[in-house]
Amino acid sequence: MRKKSSFIVLLTHGIAALAQTVSGHVFCAGTTFDPSPASVSISGTVAAADVGLPGAIWVGIEDPQAPGTPAAFLTPSGWVAWTTAGFPTYVETPAIGSTFSYSACIPASPTGGGCATTSASFVGWKVYAGYGVLTPEHQTLIQKRRASLDAAKPRLQQKGKWRADYEDDQAFRHALVQKSANDGRWGEALTIPFISCTPPESGDQ
């Protein structure tokens, strides 16, 4: 039997009142008869106008003792502590779908160290999720910037002012995708409750 606790937030953004939802729950990733990792599952929907655009998805966690500052982000290799060097993405995609869904075990402690069988070290922590996209306007900006840099390259190289990061548009693309996420495409998925995945406890939470 899966034990879980759900919390859903409705988000709205943009002049056209585009809307999407994010939600989450905690659960035991196994049967109630064996110790199993306490885990968190996150899912969300994407605004219709954003479906099919290039984009990225983020899942972050916040310590209630440090509100407004992410403690870590979920990546394909697990939770990664946040620094000031941008927000690590969980996935980047050339065409974002209409929904997304991801899960991960809850670490043994806030500093990491494998998977825990309870959420005791994270009770009250908030999990956020959302996405960003390259809007048509963003893609036009990228094209104009690329044309401008390509035209200026010989002159800048001659003056010794050409930089390695001018060679591609990746950093600029990432900045625009993250900016779009900050325009209302993310929100609180759940506040982590207590759950124990060690027998003999059973039942819904």
3-state helix, strand, coil in the chain (%, to 5): 20, 35, 45
Q: List, in order, residues 6 or more apart from 189 with CB less than 8 Å away.
A: 7, 9, 22, 23, 24, 42, 44, 59, 127, 128, 129
pLDDT digits 0-9 by tens, 151-190: 999 999 999 999 988 888 888 998 999 889 888 898 999 9
* Domains of the chain, first to last: 6-134+180-191 (2.60.40)
Cα dihedral across residues 26, 31, 33, 37: positive or negative:
negative
Please, which residues have CB within 8 angstroms of residue 7's CB and are 6 or more apart in sequence? 23, 24, 25, 188, 189, 190, 191
pTM of the model: 0.78
Mean pLDDT by 10 residues, the chain (205 residues): 36 37 89 77 93 94 88 86 80 93 86 82 93 93 93 92 89 90 88 84 44
Check if the beta carbon of residue 162 is closer than 8 Å to that of residue 156: yes
Q: What is the pLDDT of residues 124-137, one digit of tens each?
A: 999 999 999 999 99
CB-count exposure of residue 68 (10 Å: 0-12, 13-18, 19+): exposed
Q: What residues have CB less than 8 Å from 198, skipping those under 6 apart?
A: 35, 117, 118
| Bond from prior residue into 200 cis (ω within 30 degrees of 0) | yes
What is the rounded distance in angstroms from the CA atom of residue 197 to the CA atom of residue 120? 11
